[in-house]
Amino acid sequence: MIEMLPLPNNEVHVWQARVDLESLRECEILGALSPDERSRAERFHFRKDRDLYVVGRSMMRALLGGYLECQPREIRFCYSAHGKPELPADSHTDLQFNLSHSHELALFAITRESKIGVDVEFMRSRTVKGNLAERVFSPDELAAFNALPTN
Protein backbone atom coordinates (compact mmCIF):
# COMPACT_ATOMS: atom_id res chain seq x y z
CA MET A 1 0.00 0.00 0.00
CA ILE A 2 1.18 3.51 -0.77
CA GLU A 3 1.39 5.59 2.40
CA MET A 4 -1.43 8.05 3.12
CA LEU A 5 -1.61 10.76 0.49
CA PRO A 6 -3.16 14.07 1.66
CA LEU A 7 -5.53 15.68 -0.82
CA PRO A 8 -7.08 19.03 0.13
CA ASN A 9 -10.49 19.86 -1.37
CA ASN A 10 -9.10 22.46 -3.76
CA GLU A 11 -6.42 20.29 -5.40
CA VAL A 12 -6.19 17.86 -8.30
CA HIS A 13 -3.41 15.30 -8.26
CA VAL A 14 -2.26 14.00 -11.64
CA TRP A 15 -0.07 10.91 -11.83
CA GLN A 16 1.49 9.10 -14.77
CA ALA A 17 2.85 5.59 -15.19
CA ARG A 18 4.77 3.98 -18.00
CA VAL A 19 3.75 0.52 -19.08
CA ASP A 20 6.84 -1.62 -19.40
CA LEU A 21 7.83 -5.15 -18.40
CA GLU A 22 9.07 -4.06 -14.98
CA SER A 23 5.86 -2.21 -14.06
CA LEU A 24 3.78 -5.12 -15.42
CA ARG A 25 5.68 -7.64 -13.25
CA GLU A 26 5.20 -5.43 -10.19
CA CYS A 27 1.47 -5.09 -10.87
CA GLU A 28 0.99 -8.80 -11.47
CA ILE A 29 2.86 -9.57 -8.25
CA LEU A 30 0.52 -7.25 -6.35
CA GLY A 31 -2.47 -9.24 -7.61
CA ALA A 32 -4.81 -6.42 -6.64
CA LEU A 33 -7.23 -6.79 -9.53
CA SER A 34 -10.74 -8.01 -8.78
CA PRO A 35 -12.03 -11.17 -10.44
CA ASP A 36 -14.09 -9.13 -12.94
CA GLU A 37 -11.02 -7.01 -13.82
CA ARG A 38 -8.89 -10.14 -14.32
CA SER A 39 -11.62 -11.60 -16.52
CA ARG A 40 -11.77 -8.41 -18.60
CA ALA A 41 -7.97 -8.38 -18.94
CA GLU A 42 -8.04 -11.91 -20.37
CA ARG A 43 -10.53 -10.87 -23.06
CA PHE A 44 -8.15 -8.38 -24.72
CA HIS A 45 -7.06 -9.68 -28.09
CA PHE A 46 -3.64 -7.99 -28.11
CA ARG A 47 -1.18 -8.55 -25.27
CA LYS A 48 -0.09 -4.87 -25.29
CA ASP A 49 -3.70 -3.81 -24.64
CA ARG A 50 -3.99 -6.37 -21.83
CA ASP A 51 -0.74 -5.15 -20.26
CA LEU A 52 -1.87 -1.53 -20.43
CA TYR A 53 -5.18 -2.41 -18.78
CA VAL A 54 -3.50 -4.46 -16.01
CA VAL A 55 -0.94 -1.76 -15.20
CA GLY A 56 -3.54 1.02 -15.39
CA ARG A 57 -6.02 -0.71 -13.10
CA SER A 58 -3.33 -1.91 -10.69
CA MET A 59 -1.78 1.55 -10.41
CA MET A 60 -5.22 3.13 -10.01
CA ARG A 61 -5.97 0.75 -7.13
CA ALA A 62 -2.57 1.46 -5.54
CA LEU A 63 -3.09 5.22 -5.75
CA LEU A 64 -6.66 5.07 -4.45
CA GLY A 65 -5.47 2.82 -1.62
CA GLY A 66 -3.06 5.56 -0.59
CA TYR A 67 -5.78 8.20 -0.54
CA LEU A 68 -8.32 5.93 1.16
CA GLU A 69 -5.79 4.35 3.54
CA CYS A 70 -6.68 0.80 2.58
CA GLN A 71 -5.22 -2.11 0.68
CA PRO A 72 -5.67 -1.84 -3.11
CA ARG A 73 -7.49 -5.18 -3.31
CA GLU A 74 -10.10 -3.93 -0.79
CA ILE A 75 -11.36 -1.23 -3.17
CA ARG A 76 -14.73 -1.93 -4.79
CA PHE A 77 -15.96 -0.20 -7.91
CA CYS A 78 -19.33 0.41 -9.42
CA TYR A 79 -19.65 1.54 -13.02
CA SER A 80 -21.44 4.46 -14.68
CA ALA A 81 -23.74 3.94 -17.66
CA HIS A 82 -20.69 4.53 -19.88
CA GLY A 83 -18.55 1.98 -18.03
CA LYS A 84 -16.46 4.49 -16.07
CA PRO A 85 -15.33 3.04 -12.72
CA GLU A 86 -16.48 4.94 -9.63
CA LEU A 87 -16.37 4.43 -5.90
CA PRO A 88 -19.78 3.28 -4.64
CA ALA A 89 -21.93 5.71 -2.65
CA ASP A 90 -21.63 3.49 0.43
CA SER A 91 -17.82 3.90 0.44
CA HIS A 92 -18.31 7.15 2.42
CA THR A 93 -15.73 9.18 0.54
CA ASP A 94 -15.86 12.25 -1.68
CA LEU A 95 -12.86 11.04 -3.69
CA GLN A 96 -13.28 11.27 -7.48
CA PHE A 97 -10.87 9.87 -10.06
CA ASN A 98 -10.33 9.13 -13.71
CA LEU A 99 -7.85 7.09 -15.73
CA SER A 100 -6.76 7.26 -19.34
CA HIS A 101 -4.18 5.21 -21.18
CA SER A 102 -2.67 5.19 -24.62
CA HIS A 103 0.29 3.39 -26.14
CA GLU A 104 2.70 2.92 -23.18
CA LEU A 105 1.41 5.67 -20.88
CA ALA A 106 -1.30 5.72 -18.22
CA LEU A 107 -2.53 8.98 -16.72
CA PHE A 108 -4.55 9.34 -13.49
CA ALA A 109 -6.38 12.34 -12.03
CA ILE A 110 -7.69 12.34 -8.45
CA THR A 111 -9.61 15.05 -6.62
CA ARG A 112 -12.35 15.52 -4.05
CA GLU A 113 -16.01 16.45 -4.42
CA SER A 114 -16.08 17.15 -8.20
CA LYS A 115 -16.26 14.74 -11.10
CA ILE A 116 -13.02 14.77 -13.08
CA GLY A 117 -11.79 13.55 -16.43
CA VAL A 118 -8.34 13.09 -17.89
CA ASP A 119 -7.23 12.03 -21.34
CA VAL A 120 -3.95 11.04 -22.93
CA GLU A 121 -3.35 10.17 -26.57
CA PHE A 122 -0.31 8.79 -28.34
CA MET A 123 0.92 11.27 -30.94
CA ARG A 124 1.46 9.66 -34.30
CA SER A 125 3.22 11.19 -37.26
CA ARG A 126 1.53 14.34 -38.49
CA THR A 127 1.84 13.30 -42.11
CA VAL A 128 -1.31 14.28 -43.96
CA LYS A 129 -1.72 12.84 -47.45
CA GLY A 130 -2.78 15.05 -50.34
CA ASN A 131 -4.84 18.09 -49.53
CA LEU A 132 -6.78 16.57 -46.63
CA ALA A 133 -5.74 19.35 -44.25
CA GLU A 134 -6.98 21.99 -46.67
CA ARG A 135 -10.33 20.21 -47.00
CA VAL A 136 -11.12 19.63 -43.31
CA PHE A 137 -9.38 22.41 -41.34
CA SER A 138 -10.64 25.94 -40.88
CA PRO A 139 -8.25 28.69 -42.08
CA ASP A 140 -7.04 29.29 -38.50
CA GLU A 141 -6.59 25.55 -37.87
CA LEU A 142 -4.73 25.17 -41.17
CA ALA A 143 -2.39 28.04 -40.29
CA ALA A 144 -1.70 26.49 -36.85
CA PHE A 145 -1.19 23.06 -38.43
CA ASN A 146 1.24 24.40 -41.05
CA ALA A 147 3.21 26.20 -38.30
CA LEU A 148 3.90 22.90 -36.47
CA PRO A 149 7.35 21.31 -36.80
CA THR A 150 7.34 18.37 -39.20
CA ASN A 151 8.97 15.88 -36.80
Structural domain boundaries, residue 70: 12-112
Where is pLDDT greater, at 43 or 134?
Answer: 43
Distance CA 3, CA 69 (A): 7
- The band of 151, judged by pLDDT with boundaries at 50, 70 and 90, is low
**Can you give the CATH number for the domain in which 61 is found?**
3.90.470.20
Count of the separate structural domains present in the chain: 1
**What is this structure's pTM?**
0.74
pLDDT tens-place string over residues 14-43: 998 887 767 767 666 556 889 999 899 899
pLDDT tens-place string over residues 39-94: 998 999 998 888 888 888 888 998 999 999 998 889 999 998 988 899 998 888 99
Q: What is the identity of the amino acid at 56?
A: G
Torsion of CA 86, 88, 93, 99, to 10 degrees: -10
Distance CA 33, CA 15 (A): 19
| Inside any domain, residue 131 | no
| Inside any domain, residue 136 | no
| Inside any domain, residue 138 | no
Q: What is the identity of the amino acid at 11?
A: E
